[in-house]
Amino acid sequence: DTDTDAGARNSTSLRTPIVAVLGHVDHGKTSLLDKIRGSAVIEGEAGAITQHIGATAVPLDVISSIAGDLVDPDDFDLPGLLFIDTPGHHSFTTLRSRGGALADIAILVVDVNDGFQPQTLEALDILKRSETPFIVAANKIDTVPGWNATEDSPINATYEAQTDRVSSRLDESLYEIIGNLSDEGFSADLYWRVQNFQRNVGVVPVSAMTGEGVPDLLTVMMGLSQRYMKEEMEIDVTGPGVGTVLEVKEEKGFGTTIDTVLYDGTIRADDQLVVGGMNEPIVTDVRALLQPRPLAEIRTESRFEKVDEISAASGIKIAAPELEDAMAGAPVRVVRNRDLDEVIQEVEAELADIAVDTAEEGVVVKADTLGSLEAMADALDEAEVPIVRAEVGDVAPRDVSVASTADDPKQQAILGFNVETLSDADQRAETEDVTIFTDEVIYQLIDEYEEHVDELERAQQDTILDNIVRPARFRILPDHTFRQNDPAVVGVEVNSGTVQNNTNIVKFDGSEPERVGQVKGIQEQGEDVDEARAGNRVSVAIDGPTVGRQIEEDDELWAEIPEKHAKILEQELASEIPGDELEALNMYLDKQRSRDPFWGK
């Protein structure tokens, strides 16, 4: 029997909690998982830990031998812990189950030297949203200068081996992390001070390098699961299996396969399945259930061995026909004795649950998995960026076509999270003026897009301002008529706003505006200029009127603002133009509106 792993054949109906590891890049997620696996191999009997597809099961007796005095196996009836092998919040968001995160519990890894970093915050945000309980592994304690390492030691003993100076330096870093957590709304403390892990986040100092603190980490995980999650772990092990696609993979000799994490029930080699697909649920029959072959047995044959059945919680590769359209993050459900239509409906409901709300207009979003698509949609919703289309997959030419039809240039954009851009899509984007953004970090992707939008808006306003008549109020100075007409040349003082060349000029007779001519040249102290600002005294040539008839000395004149321009100025550019120009605009609007209250609205 190769199926000796923690979750599979346990007689109780308590399944193994699923554990995910998150944290900023290089803070030690992979090393920590390796350390846990490594310790488990050393401590356990051969074969006691089981390598699953995409996950590693560490049974309770192995945990208890690693943890030594910290864990008494009699205190626990959960069978162990199932660690998802791919760390990072990306796989965390992919791995969802009905109603939220697939992982039951998480480890947030924070480098004690580096502290909180952008992806730490992003991970916290995801944990908060999905309401996943977690503990913080404050990693790399062995790098505190002067550290005296005791391999694989519990934290209590290892603390005692340090000088006061070294341990207080570590304490400082730990309290900084605790402070950061509190800034994010989590009340946290060193794990041995935490009474209620439901209310407080426990911080466990560890070293993925020396193994120090790893016994504590496993103990806390086990205790936390046992204490607060036992009910959720109660499943009908023999019932029809329910899981989530971790990855869709081409496998030599098997065709398209789905690496699946099973979190409920059992899946058998002769089961019928419903799997979430790109367009509709896929109904198919299992061809083979595959597990990794133990290292010693790998020769020339397949890396996998077939099994007849497997129970939750576990990772399994499923080979079946028609899986080409399966999606990472999609649900997998065994039909067995149930009504097929009912199961299809369940899968549809789960997919709809993940589906992103799209608007009539917006940007195009692509992501590699359903879960990450959903995370993108949440983040964009928060940033108030509407989405016109959201799909799993690489950026393709047809995405560019969709984006190019947007009326708003800001929406002629594609945001791709963790995906590639196909080369013909790149080419088309260039000719169709669509901008493609891709990144592996959601907040960076959104930042890039927002910067782009800011730039577009600035450029837009600059061109609008260039093409719009600027408000101006000015007065003809007494005794400053230099020429009567053709054109009239008079000295003026600009009271507020900006007088520009070629602008039409009006005069208000009561509330009735009356066009008197057009500015055909401005001179300031004998020099030609394009415009005159508030406070300037200049001479202007006005084509049209005759001084003494249409205009007179001491007259108040205005730049004639077309109604459309007035509307843009008031509604969009009020904060962009100088205060005196705004004042001129408001006075101009008052005059127009005393005649027609809706003018320029």
Nearer to ligand GDP, 214 or 354 (CB): 214
Nearer to ligand GDP, 113 or 511 (CB): 113
Min separation Cβ 29 and ligand GDP, Å: 3
Among residues 147 and 263, whose Cβ is nearest to ligand GDP?
147
Q: Is 42 or 298 the residue whose CB approaches ligand GDP more closely? A: 42
Q: What is the 3-state secondary structure (H, E, C) of 554-565?
A: CCEEEECCCHHH
Q: Which residues pair with 496 in a beta bridge?
A: 473
Under DSSP, the state recorded for 531 is E
Q: Which is nearer to ligand GDP, 30 or 438 (CB)?
A: 30
Least Cβ distance, residue 173 to ligand GDP (angstroms):
13
- Rounded to whole angstroms, the Cα distance separating 175 from 157 reads 20
- Output DSSP code: residue 524: E
Question: Which residues touch 335 (CB under 8 Å, ≥6 apart)?
Answer: 240, 271, 272, 273, 274, 283, 343
Q: Cβ of residue 141: shortest distance to ligand GDP, in angstroms?
A: 7
d(CA 137, CA 105): 13
Residues that bind ligand GDP (CB under 6 A): 23, 25-31, 87, 139-140, 142-143, 207-209
Spatial separation of the C-alpha atoms in residues 135 and 190, rounded to whole Å: 10
Q: DSSP code of 507?
A: E
> Phi, psi at residue 232, to the nearest 5°?
-65, -20
**Beta carbon nearer to ligand GDP, 209 or 344:** 209
Nearer to ligand GDP, 205 or 281 (CB): 205
CB of 374 to ligand GDP, least distance (A): 24
Q: Are 92 and 121 in contact (CB under 8 A)?
A: no
How far from each other are the two terminal CA atoms of the chain, in whole angstroms?
Answer: 80
Q: Contact, 145 vs 166, CB < 8 A? A: yes
Q: What is the number of other CB atoms lying within 10 angstroms of the CB of residue 190?
A: 18
Burial class (CB in 10 A: 0-12, 13-18, 19+), 528: exposed
The DSSP bridge pattern shows strands 363-367 and 413-417 to be parallel
Q: Is 198 helix (H, G, I), strand (E, B) or coil?
A: coil
Residues paired with residue 533 on neighbouring β-strands, in sequence order: 498
> Shortest Cβ distance from residue 458 to ligand GDP (Å)?
37
User: In the sheet where 272-275 sits, what is the strand order?
Assistant: 282-285, 272-275, 331-334, 242-251, 255-264, 314-319, 288-292, 304-307
* Min dist. Cβ of residue 97 to ligand GDP (A): 24
Q: Which residues lie below 8 Å from residue 42, measured CB to CB, with a gap of 6+?
A: none
Sign, CA dihedral 554-559-561-566, equals negative
Residue 350: partners with Cβ closer than 8 Å, 6 or more residues away: 98, 276, 331
Q: How many residues does the chain have?
A: 601
In the complex with ligand GDP, the residue whose CB is nearer, 211 or 600, is 211
- Closest CB to ligand GDP among residues 208, 499: 208
Name the residue nearer to ligand GDP (CB basis): 25 or 298.
25
The distance of closest approach from Cβ of residue 94 to ligand GDP in the complex, given in angstroms and rounded to an integer, is 17
3-state helix, strand, coil in the chain (%, to 5): 35, 30, 35
> Closest approach of Cβ 139 to ligand GDP, in Å?
5
Q: How far is the CB of 294 from ligand GDP (least distance, A)?
A: 25
* Of 112 and 379, CB closest to ligand GDP: 112
Structure tokens of 392?
């799993």
**Comparison of 26 and 325: residue with beta carbon closer to ligand GDP:** 26
Q: Which is nearer to ligand GDP, 85 or 142 (CB)?
A: 142
What lies within 8 Å, CB to CB, of 233 at 6+ separation is 14, 15, 16, 17, 78, 104, 225
Nearest to 343 by CA among 240, 256, 435: 240
Least CB distance from residue 384 to ligand GDP, whole Å?
Answer: 32
Q: How far is the CB of 310 from ligand GDP (least distance, A)?
A: 28
Sign for the pseudo-dihedral over CA of 138, 140, 142, 146 = negative
CB-nearest residue to ligand GDP: 28
Min. distance of Cβ 87 from ligand GDP in angstroms? 6
Provide, rounded to whole angstroms, the least separation between the CB of residue 22 and ligand GDP: 9
Nearer to ligand GDP, 10 or 210 (CB): 210
State the minimum distance, in angstroms, from the CB of residue 112 to ligand GDP. 9
